[in-house]
Structure 1
Amino acid sequence: MSEVLKVLILDRLTLKIMSHSCRMADITGEGVTLVEDMYKQRQPFPTLDAIYFLQPTRENITMFLSDMAGKAPLYRKAFVFFSSPISRELVVDIKKDPRVLPRLGALREMNLEYFAIDSQGFITNNERALEDLFGDEENNHKGVACLNVMATRIATVFASLREFPSIRYRAAKSLDATTMTTFRDLIPTKLAAGVWDCLTKYKKTIPSFPQTETCELLIIDRTIDQIAPVIHEWTYDAMCHDLLNMEGNKYVHEVPGKAGGPPERKEVLLEDHDPLWLELRHAHIADASERLHLKMTSFMSKNKAAQIQHGS
C-alpha cells in the first residue's frame, strides 16, 4: 500500500489515539494525503484507497458499510483496522454484504486502544471511572461497563508489547458466605479477571504472542497510598501543567510581532519529540530552572541573532 496515496478515516476514539501516538508528519510520511472524521460529511475519492482505523462498534460498522456499499463507493478499496477485538456478529455483518466484500483490502484487529502520554506511560481515557465505579451502589451496570472497557484497553497494551503478564491484585478482604461483599470490594478482582480473559484470547489469535507469563501486571488503587493526592509535585512537568494555561501537552504563548505589528501566537508541544522536555520534565523545578538558565546563557553567547535581540 505504500506506493499509492491513501485516505485515513478515524472515529472519535481513534482520532485521540492517533493524536497521542504520532504527529501529522508521521502520517503523511506513510503516503496518507488526507485524514478524515468518520462522522463528518466526506468527499468521495473513488480513485484512492482508504484506511479505516475504528473502534469495533455497531455504529462504526454501519457507517463503514454505508461508505463502501452501492454502485458508487466513496473509495476504491478499504483497508479496515480495529482498535480492539471485534465481535463475530459484526464480522458477519461485514462479510455478508456482497457489494462490500470485494472492496475489502484488509480486515484486521490492531489491538491499539490506549493513549500514550509519553514513552513510558499511557492512560485508558476513562474520565468518569470514579463516578461509574463508586457512584451508585444500587445500580452497578455503569461500573461493569467501565471495567470492561478498562480491561480491554489495558489488554491491548500487552498485545502491542507482545507480553503476557502474570496479574497481581489485592483480593477483597472477605469472600465468605457470612459477609456481604460489595461491588466496590470486587473491583480489583473483576478488572484482573477482565484483563486475563482478553489475554487468553490473544494467546489463540495473535501470532507469536507468548504462551507463558513474561512479566507482571500490578493492579493497585489509591487506598494503598492515600497521601499521594495531597502531596504537591515540584517537577518541571508538574509546574508547567499547574502554572501555565495548557491544553494537554500544548502551550500557546504570544511573541512580539514583526515591525511593531500585533503580537503573534505561537504553539509549543511539550512531548517526547522535544529533547529539552525529555531532559528536564522529571527534574525538580529548582534544578530545571538552573539548567535552563545555563543553557540560555550558553545559547546567547554563541548565537549572534540572540545577542542582537538581547541588546535591543
Structure 2
Amino acid sequence: MNVTLAVKQYVSKMIENSGPGMKVLLMDRETTSIVSVVYTQSEILQKEVYLFERIDSQNRDNMKHLKAICFLRPTKENVEHLIQELRSPKYSVYFIYFSNVISKSEIKALAEADEQEVVAEVQGVARGRSWEPSMLSRCTQGLTSVLLALKKCPMIRYQLSSDMSKRLAESVKQIITKEYELFDFRKTEVPPLLLILDRSDDAITPLLNQWTYQAMVHELLGLNNNRIDLSRVPGISKDLKEVVLSAENDEFYANNLYLNFGEIGTNIKNLMEDFQKKKPKEQQKLESITDMKAFVENYPQFKKMSGTVSKHVTVVGELSRLVSERQLMEVSEVEQELSCQNDHSNAQQSVRRLLQNPRLSELDAVRLVMLYALRYERHSSCVLPALMDELSRRGVSERHRRMVKSVVEYGGKRVRGSDLVTPTDAVAITKQFFKGLKGVENVYTQHQPLIHDTLDQLIKGRLKDSQFPYLGASSLRDRPQDIMVFLIGGATYEEALTVYNLNRSTPGVRIVLGGSSIHNTKSFLEEVMSTASHSADRAQGSGRPGNRR
C-alpha cells in the first residue's frame, strides 16, 4: 500500500482527463505541497503542465490559451476564491478537483458563478447514474421472477465500478433472504451464479451497425415484442404492413437468427427455389378423390410456406434497400475501425471523409462522431470541436449534437471500469468475404462486446474479485455452470449472439442473458438522454454543475 504512488496516480489522472494541450495547475497552499512531494517539475512538464499558480494569488495574467486544472481542498476560502475565478475566468476551460467531499450548497454557488460555462468537469462529490426507486423495484422483481422460474438460488457477483450494480445485487439478495422458503431449491454441486453488469461500461456496442439477421432487423426496422412495422416500406402490400418474427414458430427465422447478411441472402434464394418446386401448377387437374385429398392436405403447408417466403423476402429486401441507401457498409467499416483499432490519425480522417458524404443519414453521422468521442476521448478537445462543426454544417439537429456530450458522460473513461478496446489485434484479422448477398466482409464484424471478455474470464476462473466482488462472504471455487447475466441499462442482440456462441463453444456451461431492455442505437440514445435529463434534474436540485463544455 504505497500512498505516495496512489496520490501520484490521482494527480496524473487529473492531468490526463483534461486532454492534450497546454495546462496550468491551479492549487492552494496544501495541495501545492502534496503535488511537490509526488512529482518533480521536470516530470510534470512532460505532461504539458507549463504553469503552476495559487488560487489565492491576485496577480495572475489572463491566459486563454491554457486549460486550468484546479486541485484544491474543499475549504470555504478555496470555494470563495474559485467563485471569484469563475466570474472572471483567466483560462479557457476549468477541470475542478477537490481533495475531499464538498457540500451541495457550495456546489450550487459554483454553478451560479459559472455564467460563462467554462467548467468542463467537477469531481469531489457524488456523481453518476442512480436508480429511480420504481425502476430498481421493477428490475428486482423481474430478476427474482426469472430466478424462481428457472428454480435457481444463485450466488451473486456485481460490477464494483457501478453503484447501480451493487444496489441491484443487494436488492435481489434481500428478496432471496426474505423469501428463503421460495428459493429453497435442490442444491447442485456447483451453485448457479448471477452476474450483474452496467451498460455504461460498454457504450460502444449499442452504437454499432449490425450484420446478423436478428440484430439487423432490430437496428434498421425495430423489433417490438417480435413484431416489425413495415408500413413505411415503399409499395408494401396491406397484409405485410406488420409481420411477426418469432423463432418459436418460424423455422426459417430460427435457423437464420445469428447468420450474417450474406448467408441470409443465399438462404432466401434457396427458400424461394424450394417454394417454387412445391408450388402447385396453375393448370393442375383434380381428376380424382385422391388428387383432391392430396391438394387439401398439402395446401395448409403450402400456404404457410408462401407466407414465410413473402415475409422474409420483404424483410431482407427492405434491409438491403436501407443498407444501400444509407451506405451502411462504408459506415460500418469506419465504425469497426473506431471500435477495434488504435490509429487516431486514420480514424479521424475516415470520420471526416464520411461526414462529407451528403447521403449519410443524420443518425449515422452523429453515431460516428459519438464513437470517435468515446474511443479517442483524450484527443477529443483538439478534433471533436471540428467534427461538431461539421455536424452543424450538415444541418444535424441540436438534440442529436447534444447526444455526443451525453454519450461521453454516460460511458466515457471517467465512469468506465474497463478499457474500450479488446486485446484482439483487429488489423491482423483476415478480410475474407462472406458468400452471398452484398458480399459482406468480416471486416464489418470484428468487434466483440466487452461482455465476451468478462464471461470468458468468468468461465476460466480469472474474473477478478477486486473488480467483480461476490455479495456476501462465500465465493465460487469451481467453474460456474449456470450463469445468469443481467445488464443494467439494456442488452443488445450483438451481446445475445456472443452468449449464443459461448454456449455453443463451452460444453457444460449454460448462460442466460437479460437486461432492463433490448437496445438498438435509437433506443440506447433515448436511454442516454433520459439519464442525462435525470442527472441534470438531480444536479439542479443539489446545485451540482455537472460536466459542461
Q: Which bin holds the TM-score, normalised by the shorter protein?
A: 0.3 to 0.5
Q: Identify the structure with the greater strand proportion.
A: 1
Greater RCO, 1 or 2 (C-alpha within 8 Å, sep 6+): 2
Larger Rg: 2
Normalising by structure 1, report the TM-score.
0.42
Higher helix content, 1 or 2: 2
Q: TM-score, normalised by structure 2?
A: 0.25
